[in-house]
């Protein structure tokens, strides 16, 4: 019987640290439910001590999820660990993940602590965490650049203190696969009590090697991988969950372990995370990209038609392609609508929100014949965002004609007042954004404008992502509509609303 490879998903924690990828509590719960359906072993829901918002979100996920273990991150500080323990107290299965830096540069320049002080603090942190749960994970931050003797010493000590999982992070994506695998092997061989803990890895993708490093570690005894949907995460991101899972599943002739993941939920999870965070998936992304199972070259098409395995090592349906099933139409009733949302793991907070979302669904069904699951996710995202709107789009007129200057007229509600403006521009979207700025004068910098179709076909809703930067703060806004100019206005206002409703600056721990 093969070993169990534990999948530890940190989309809600490290993934959210991608600039502009912040999620609301409701969005975190929707993603957590999708991860639970995928049978992810452990969901790292956030960093409870970072802010009140993060604490509430971790608590909400812990209160909701029943089948997966819910984890909270904490620095090796008693206040952080107490906060994590409080957030996780109602979880069916809880884990506290505590960390402290161990590389010379981090200890000297960031922590300003000696190795002996770091060791003492790490042991204290694990003991504090054990007061809340016997499922404690410890990470020596920047392990890839740490002294091997000190690593062995501190990891032996935290196992004695009660740590049950040892996570070895390549925090800055610096190591090479052979080197990283050897590090895990050496630690397991040199630490006397290493058999009392599970070894885990958390690899960043700065050199594009996060998945390779993670799999090398597995071949050298690691039995947990920390990863994110779509490889989302700090800087260049983390190891991609979908690539890890399918590499292990496809090459069972090589790997001495297997996951419990239901891979048919991978593509729906990818689309959900992409829609919520506003980070589109590149077409040539492995497993979940639009071109991942497409064949353009004639010789490839011929081979696949004759025998699929000539050019395909996986089946598209095995990872959830084709799962965006036609669910509802304009004749569907409220109960059918509610039931389909429940099947997708979407539970709206009140009857009022359900009614408002159902009205928007009917409006969409009058414009678009086929309504797919992705359309429903977009509708719910739009409706939940609208409840927090300081600026609300009331009406928009945009005009574009060959040989004429495009212009837009817009009406926005702000605090019960209707504000109007119009502007010309280089195109209808540019004119719309200029009209909005005449009203709001946000003094922001537009860093990204991206358009994607939610489903296939010319009647698909367009999903627009806008990234704005102001005074060092970056936010993503998203909006969807059959009309791409309207979707663009919604996305721009969504970003402005996030800036307006900005919470306390959150800490961004690097693990």
DSSP output for 347-383: --S-HHHHHHHHHHHHHHHHH-S-EEHHHHHHHHHHH
How confident is the model over 110-134, as pLDDT tens digits?
A: 999 999 999 999 999 999 999 999 9
* Whether residues 143 and 247 fall in one domain: yes
Of 144, 166, 276, the C-alpha closest to 223 is 166
Cβ atoms 452, 479 nearer than 8 A: no
* Whether residues 311 and 335 fall in one domain: no
* Whether residues 63 and 106 fall in one domain: yes
Cβ atoms 113, 121 nearer than 8 A: yes
**Tokens at 458, concatenated:** 């010319």
* Whether residues 191 and 219 fall in one domain: yes
* Whether residues 45 and 133 fall in one domain: yes
* Whether residues 351 and 443 fall in one domain: no
Measure the CA–CA gap between 184 and 267, rounded to whole angstroms. 31
Confidence of residue 337 (pLDDT cuts 50, 70, 90): confident
For residue 461, give every residue at least 6 positions away whose Cβ sits within 8 Å of its Cβ, in sequence order, or none. Answer: 364, 368, 375, 378, 453, 454, 455, 480, 481, 482, 487
* Whether residues 103 and 63 fall in one domain: yes
Task: Kindly state whether residue 125 falls inside one of the protein's structural domains.
Answer: yes
Measure the CA–CA gap between 226 and 395, rounded to whole angstroms. 45
Domain final residue, candidates 312, 342, 370: 370
Count CB neighbours of 134 within 10 A. Answer: 10
Percent helix / strand / coil, the chain, rounded to 5: 45, 20, 35
Please tell me whether residue 152 adopts helix, strand or coil conformation.
Answer: helix
**Tokens at 73, concatenated:** 């991150």
**DSSP one-letter code for 461:** P
**Does 202 or 385 have the greater pLDDT score?**
202
> What CATH code is carried by the domain that includes residue 57?
3.20.20.70
Cβ atoms 391, 412 nearer than 8 A: yes
Please tell me whether residue 155 adopts helix, strand or coil conformation.
Answer: helix
* Whether residues 228 and 303 fall in one domain: no
* Whether residues 122 and 22 fall in one domain: yes
Task: Kindly state whether residue 506 falls inside one of the protein's structural domains.
Answer: no
Domain final residue, candidates 246, 277, 308: 277
Q: Which residues on adjacent β-strands are paired with residue 225? A: 7, 201
Task: Kindly state whether residue 317 falls inside one of the protein's structural domains.
Answer: yes
pLDDT at position 242 over 90: yes
Measure the CA–CA gap between 69 and 65, rounded to whole angstroms. 8
Task: Kindly state whether residue 284 falls inside one of the protein's structural domains.
Answer: no
Q: Are strands 94-101 and 69-75 parallel, antiparallel or unpaired?
A: parallel
Cβ atoms 273, 10 nearer than 8 A: no
Task: Kindly state whether residue 286 falls inside one of the protein's structural domains.
Answer: no
pLDDT at position 216 over 90: yes
Choice among 38-42, 218-222, 285-289 with the minimum mean pLDDT: 285-289
Please tell me whether residue 439 adopts helix, strand or coil conformation.
Answer: helix
What is the mean predicted confidence (pLDDT) over 255-282? Answer: 91
* Whether residues 465 and 423 fall in one domain: yes
Q: What is the reported pLDDT for 257? A: 98
**Tokens at 261, concatenated:** 């993941």
Cβ atoms 44, 65 nearer than 8 A: no
Task: Kindly state whether residue 210 falls inside one of the protein's structural domains.
Answer: yes
Domain final residue, candidates 370, 398, 428: 370
Task: Kindly state whether residue 159 falls inside one of the protein's structural domains.
Answer: yes
Q: Is the pTM of this model over 0.75?
A: yes
Task: Kindly state whether residue 467 falls inside one of the protein's structural domains.
Answer: yes
* Whether residues 437 and 340 fall in one domain: no
Helix (H) or strand (E) holding 139: strand 136-141
**Tokens at 369, concatenated:** 């014949």
What is the mean predicted confidence (pLDDT) over 7-25? Answer: 89
* Whether residues 392 and 311 fall in one domain: no
On the 0-12 / 13-18 / 19+ scale of CB atoms within 10 A, 277 is buried
Measure the CA–CA gap between 198 and 166, rounded to whole angstroms. 6
Enclosing domain of residue 414:
388-500
Q: Are strands 462-470 and 473-481 parallel, antiparallel or unpaired?
A: antiparallel
Cβ atoms 87, 59 nearer than 8 A: yes
Q: How many domains does the chain have?
A: 4
Of 11, 4, 508, the C-alpha closest to 241 is 11
pLDDT at position 343 over 90: no
pLDDT at position 188 over 70: yes
């Amino acid at each position: 019987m093969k070993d169990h490879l534990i999948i530890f998903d940190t989309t809600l924690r490290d993934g959210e640290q991608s600039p502009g990828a912040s999620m609301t509590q409701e969005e975190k719960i929707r993603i957590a439910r999708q991860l639970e359906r995928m049978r992810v072993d452990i969901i790292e829901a956030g960093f409870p001590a970072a802010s009140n918002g993060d604490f509430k979100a971790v608590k909400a996920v812990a209160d909701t999820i029943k089948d997966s273990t819910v984890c909270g991150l904490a620095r090796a500080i008693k206040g952080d660990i107490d906060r994590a323990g409080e957030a996780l107290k109602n979880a069916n299965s809880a884990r506290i993940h505590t960390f402290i830096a161990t590389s010379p540069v981090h200890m000297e320049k960031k922590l300003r602590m000696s190795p002996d002080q770091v060791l003492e603090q790490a042991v204290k942190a694990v003991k504090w965490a054990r007061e809340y749960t016997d499922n404690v994970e410890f990470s020596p931050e920047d392990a890839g650049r740490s002294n091997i003797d000190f690593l062995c010493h501190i990891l032996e000590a935290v196992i004695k203190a009660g740590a049950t999982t040892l996570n070895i992070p390549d925090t800055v994506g610096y190591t090479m696969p052979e080197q990283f695998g050897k590090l895990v092997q050496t630690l397991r061989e040199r630490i006397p009590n290493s058999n009392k803990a599970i070894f885990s890895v958390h690899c960043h993708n700065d050199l594009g090697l996060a998945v390779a490093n993670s799999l090398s570690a597995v071949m050298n005894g690691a039995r947990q991988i920390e990863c994110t949907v779509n490889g989302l995460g700090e800087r260049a991101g983390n190891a991609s969950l979908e690539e890890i899972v399918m590499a292990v599943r496809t090459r069972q002739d090589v790997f001495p372990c297997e996951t419990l993941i239901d891979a048919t939920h991978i593509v729906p999870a990818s689309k959900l995370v992409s829609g919520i965070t506003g980070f589109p998936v590149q077409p040539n992304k492995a497993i979940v990209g639009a071109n991942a199972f497409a064949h353009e070259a004639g010789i490839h098409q011929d081979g696949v038609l004759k025998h699929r395995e000539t050019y395909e090592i996986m089946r598209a349906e095995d990872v959830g392609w084709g799962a965006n099933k036609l669910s509802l139409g304009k004749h569907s009733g409220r109960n059918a609508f509610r039931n389909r949302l429940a099947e997708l793991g979407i539970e709206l907070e009140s009857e009022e929100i359900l009614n408002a979302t159902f009205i928007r669904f009917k409006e969409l069904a009058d414009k678009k014949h086929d309504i797919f699951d992705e359309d429903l996710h977009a509708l719910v995202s739009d409706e939940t965002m609208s409840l927090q709107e300081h600026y609300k789009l009331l009406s928009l007129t945009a005009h574009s004609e060959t040989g004429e200057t495009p212009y837009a007229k817009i009406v926005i509600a702000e605090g019960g007042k209707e504000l109007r403006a119009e502007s010309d521009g280089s195109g209808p979207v540019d004119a719309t954004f200029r009209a909005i700025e005449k009203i709001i004068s946000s003094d922001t910098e537009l860093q990204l404008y991206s358009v994607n179709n939610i489903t296939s076909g010319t009647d698909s809703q367009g999903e627009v992502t806008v990234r704005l930067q102001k005074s060092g703060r970056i936010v993503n806004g998203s909006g969807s509509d059959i009309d791409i100019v309207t979707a663009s206005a919604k996305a721009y206002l969504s970003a402005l609303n996030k800036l307006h409703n900005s919470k306390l600056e959150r800490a961004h721990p690097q693990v």
